[in-house]
Structure 1
Amino acid sequence: MGKQHLLAVSVALIIQGISLSAYADDTTPAELKQLKAQIDVLQKRFVQLEQKHNTTLSTSDQSEVTHTEFTEDGEGTELVAREVTTDDIDGLKGDIENFKYDHSRQYERQTVKSARDTTLYGTVQVRASYQDEGTTAGNPAPVGERKSTFDIPTALIGLRGNLFRDYNEGKNLDYQLSFSYAKQTGTAGNNSNFNLQDAFLRYNFFSTNSGLEQPRLNATLGQQLIPFGLEAQSPEDLRPTITQAIAPVQLGLTARQNGLIVRGDVKPYVDYGANYRAPLLEYAFGVTNGNGINKTDDNEGKDYLARLAYTLPVDYASIFRELKFGVSYLKGKNNVKNDGVLLSDHGKRDILGFDIYYNHAPFGVTYEYIQAKTEKATPVNELVDTTAEGHTFTLFYTLGDQFYNSIKSNAKFDDFWPKSIQGYYRYDNYNPNKDQDVVGVPGNGWGEYDKHSLGLNFFFAQTTKFQLALNHTKYQNETSSQKDFNEVVGQFQYTF
């Protein structure tokens, strides 16, 4: 009750009292008694209203209490509580509306939007090299005095995500799309046009959110890396050395192919404490065009491939942890030409591979053997068998904690990552033809050569590493176009 209302009541009572005094001379005693009763009632109401008003004022005064809060340096800050006014509420509403407008405007103008879940990723390699013999396109051959160069061997950018997320069973439909200007051999092209790399859909037949101990099974349709051996199925950001193994590159196994591939595993061993999962058996099989990236099939033949890998069923603490044996096989057909003339569209192309993988941090060993039987054309347009063979052996040792799964699962700041230094040695041997001579492919081991690499990988951030390698290439038979040479290569690789 406000003060103005109390004043109005008082004035009304005074006026009524004056009116009663003037009226008393002409009224009967009964009427006068009735009027006095009404005045008593009004007086009681006035007293009640006055008491209620005083109580409200007393409560308001008590609410305006001064509180003192102390900061870390000991200084006190006084906070005075007061009643919230209409202006305060209107001001808060205005601030909320301004925030909503600014947030909506920034989301519309500064945020990349997608209709589905999307992750942007990429890999870039920045390289400098020097060798004591001139080269062209990475192959030993005299090209004037050029012995050193700066180049970008890989620049890849892509998107991945899912088109359908199964929240109940985890049978998701995923996609991946990437572009790169690098050639399939890993050397840079002569232009900056981006070419399609990965472009596929992947459906998971088994649950992906029911735990690590569940088996995996998925089918991938589109352009993708093929599951053959170790090197061929390693993406750009996970390759351990600066240059790729020779045999998979020369035989076209590192090239992405168009087709359908099914991958899965059974009986995985899981150690949740170390974030470790090792399937007893991994398998893959599929069919592809077999003629390389971004091409439709050029013959009626298809490449059929299969891979099986067995991991020793031991626990995480065992010395044989992550000891894996794999075997791969590819059977396909290729076009055989002589001076541009097609001699056969169903030439033999059978490739067999065997590999051993042992990665027990801090040390590890890998070995891969590949044998390819193909048909080539002679000068008289005959088809003859050729046998290519390659060996790749890699030994590495790591100082630091970056590759321990237990370290990866620890909570840490975004830009804190334990640094690691990894030294490695790689031996590569490749013989393009163990059989008789064929035009363009000298036989009897004439084109065989070895490559020794001594390298150092310095992982100084979660997604960035510096690599340094000393390479020595030695030919079984030197010619004017293929001479032994030494090379030093430095490379920064960063991913996002």
Structure 2
Amino acid sequence: MHLPKLTAIALATLAATWAGGPALAQPQSSGNEIKALKGTVEGLKKQLQDLRSQQTSSASNALDQARIEELRKQVLELRDLLQKQQTAQLPASLAAPVAEGQAEEAQEAVDARTPASKADIQGLRTDLENYKYDQSRLQERNIPSVVRNTKIGGSLTLGYATANPAVQPTSSAGTTLSAEERKNGFTPAVVGLNFSGNLYRDYEEGKNLTYRIAFQTSTNLGGSNAAYNSTGQSNTEGTQFNVTDAYLSYSFLPQSGNAEDPLGTLTFGQQVIPFGQDAQAIDPEVKAVIGNAGFVSGLGLGKRQIGLILKGDYDPYVDFTNNYRAPLLSYALGFVNGNGANKQDNNSMRDWIGRLVYTLPVDYASWFRQLQIGTSYYRGYSALGSSVSSATSNTTYYATKGLFTRTGFDLNWTHLPYSISYEWAYGKDQLYKNATNLTTNPDLYKRGKGQYINFGYTWGEQFLNSSKQQGKFDDYWPKSYQAFVRFDTWDPNISEVTARTSNSDRKQYITTLGLNVFFAETTKFQINYLHTRYQLEGATPTLLNPGSSNGIQAQFNATF
């Protein structure tokens, strides 16, 4: 057996390696000693291979096998020690040529060690100054300048509508006088423009002061075929450019950027009132259905008001993986004039409004995710009776004021691709005391009630969180589609005791089938088919008051 011989060779090699340690520190002899160590290791490996070939017939000898493994470990240790000495003790100028198979030094590393000349530094300074000048000129010529941080946005809405039976040519047939019945036509364009930004940024606590100013065109043609703007001047083109939003908003709770922190704002100015779901979606860019529910206009909820409204939430649940935030409670409480947008109030009493929304506390994977239950209440005063002129003060005023209330309940569940929303609203208005009102409503209170339920199904990638976080080229956005059906009922006066003679006073049932196509994040096309049925209560249908009607509405909306 050759085990003693091999063990001796291994020990001799190890001794030579230890002895070679100090020698490797001398640049003159380090190369020869490293070559000697390599030759010893290679010879030792060859002896080990020969031993294994000779020991094939006696592999059952456990002792010899253990010695072979011990010798193999010694060979590996010698090789590791040799590599460490080559790397640690040789100068950097000698290490590269000694290492076998090592790639040449990268050009980037060589450039990093090369010092820059004075001319190089001066050239870089010149290039930077030229770039600064070009950017400054670009901003002066092509970018508008503002004093405060400002974001500019807007929207464009174009539409087409049909009606069957056709709209009859009467003085009150919509907003435009016509020579004959109108079966179809393009609807007036609606253009919006808005500005928003920061007036004060709190860098310590995040209690910022922001603002928003928004404008929108509208038509208001009456029987004289003329419209009047806010200054009272006649506009024969029938277009008005009105202020919609105009408010300041103060964050009384810090906006740290952490989604787990509650939010709280105090908003002062002209704004949308926080009542229900559909009444807050009065701008084209946020509407899922082209037309609002019947009770929104019937109860006067689709209006902006001037006042002070506090909003916030409590105990938000956050799923950072899916970018999902759902507060346990959301609240709103405010005081407003109650007479609509861009107007002084018509009495000395303020209207007040409150809303509370509860979101079911479940995780993102639950089927009950985004299940919300809300309730709203509005109480205010309106002017009653015809105008009365005062001979002494040369003024005109209403006879008196009357109390009105609005109560609402809503339920919303959105779990893509499915969505269901339900809303119920009830209104009670005090009437002016005269013979007509005493006949129709003996208690001098008019009560209206409406409700709707909407079923929706969405397919496509636009609303998926994975798609929102995915990088896209320029303004590309995946298309998505949303189909829905809505059943809407509205009764403007459930307490009326006399027969109703006009469809505007009768109970109506509206079924809407619709499709929304989202081309981009801010561009959509909507088409709705509406079937309306009126409760005639035994009356004979006429062209002005048909028993039912059908219509198609198509609308394109782009927001920038």
2:135 aligned residue: 103
| Aligned match of 1:152 | 188
Which runs of structure 2 are paired with 1:203-352 in the superposition (5 Å)?
203-234=250-281, 236=283, 237-338=285-386, 344-352=399-407
Which residue of 463, 472, 495 maps to 1:412? 472
The SS at the match of 2:247 is: strand
Partner Cα distance (2:460, 2:132) in 1: 47
CA distance in 2, matches of 1:443, 1:386: 16
Going from structure 1 to structure 2, the CA distance change for 1:445 and 1:248 (only over 3 Å counts) comes to closer
Q: Does 1:162 align with 2:198?
A: yes
Q: Distance in 1 between matches of 2:282 and 2:468?
A: 20
* Matched letter for residue 333 of structure 1: Y
User: How many residues are treated as equivalent by the alignment?
Assistant: 413
User: What value does the CA root-mean-square deviation take over the aligned residues?
Assistant: 3.1
Deviation at 1:474, TM superposition (A): 1.3
Where structure 2 has 5 or more consecutive residues not aligned to the other structure, the ranges are 1-106, 108-113, 221-226, 228-236, 390-396, 439-443
TM-score by length of 2: 0.68
Shifted more, 268-277 versus 239-248: the winner is 239-248
Residue 488 (structure 1) aligns with: 552
Map 1:179-190 to 2 at 5 A: 179-182=215-218
- CA–CA separation in structure 1 for the residues paired with 2:498 and 2:344: 28
Counterparts of 1:306 and 1:183, CA distance in 2: 31
Query: Structure 1, residues 404-442: CA drift from partner, whole Å, max 9, x if none?
Result: 234323333332222111101111111110112589x86
One-letter code aligned to 2:166: G
Q: Residue 281 of structure 1 contacts residue 309 of structure 1 at CA under 8 Å; is this kept in 2? A: yes
> Cα–Cα, structure 1 residues 196 and 141, in superposed 2: closer, same or farther, change >3 Å?
closer
1:141–1:101 Cα change, 3 Å: closer
Match of 1:52 in 2: none
Structure 1 residues 492, 233: closer, same or farther in 2, change over 3 A? Answer: same
Q: Distance in 2 between matches of 1:245 and 1:139?
A: 20
Match of 2:79 in 1: none
Tell me which amino acid in the other structure corresponds to 1:229.
G
Partner of 1:357: 412
CA spacing shift, 1:140–1:392, aligned 2, 3 Å: farther
Q: Aligned equivalents of 1:303 and 1:143: distance in 2?
A: 43
The structure-2 alpha-carbon separation of the partners of 1:459 and 1:393, relative to structure 1 and needing over 3 Å to count, comes to: same
Deviation at 1:309, TM superposition (A): 0.7
User: In the alignment, is the contact (CA less than 8 A) between 1:225 and 1:256 conserved in 2?
Assistant: yes
Determine if contact 2:460/2:478 at 8 Å carries over to the other structure: yes
Q: 1:443 to 1:134 in 2, by over 3 A?
A: closer
- Specify the code of the residue in structure 2 equivalent to 1:194: F
Q: 1:339 to 1:114 in 2, by over 3 A?
A: closer
- 1:214 to partner: Cα distance: 0.8
Supply the AA of the counterpart residue of 2:551.
E
The letter for the 2-side match of 1:146 is R
CA shift at 1:197, angstroms? 0.5
Residue 460 of structure 2 aligns with which residue?
400
Q: Provide Cα deviations, 1:138-166, integer angstroms capped at 9, x if missing partner.
A: 59999723111112353211011111112
Picking from 409, 424, 435, the partner of 1:369 is 424
Q: Higher helix fraction: Structure 1 or Structure 2?
A: 2
Q: Deviations over 1:450-470 (max 9, x none)?
A: 111101001111110111111
141-150 or 115-124, larger mean C-alpha shift = 141-150
Structure 1, unmatched stretches of 5+, are 1-68, 70-80
Q: Cα–Cα, structure 1 residues 315 and 100, in superposed 2: closer, same or farther, change >3 Å?
A: closer
* Seq. identity, %: 40
Q: Assess if the C-alpha contact under 8 Å between 1:338 and 1:381 holds in 2.
A: no
Structure 2 counterpart SS, 1:364: strand
**Does the CA-based 8 Å contact 1:466-1:493 persist in structure 2?**
yes
CA distance in 1 between counterparts of 2:386 and 2:491 reads 22
* 8 Å CA contact retained: 1:271, 1:316: yes
Distance 2:302 2:218 in 1: 13
Any conservation in 2 of the 1:333–1:345 contact (CA below 8 Å)? no
SS of residue matched to 1:332: strand
Question: 2:205 & 2:434 partners in 1: Cα distance?
Answer: 60
Match of 2:159 among 127, 130, 134: 127
Q: 1:381 to 1:314 in 2, by over 3 A?
A: same
Q: Distance in 2 between matches of 1:304 and 1:442?
A: 34
- Structure 1 contact 220–261 (Cα < 8 Å) conserved: yes
**Aligned letter for 1:125?**
T
Distance in 1 (alpha carbons) for counterparts of 2:200 and 2:505: 54
**Which has the larger strand fraction?**
1
1:329 CA drift (Å): 0.4
* Partner residue, 1:175: 211
Q: Deviations over 1:383-411 (max 9, x none)?
A: 71010111121111001122223432333
Contact map agreement 2:165 2:543 (CA 8 A) in 1:
no
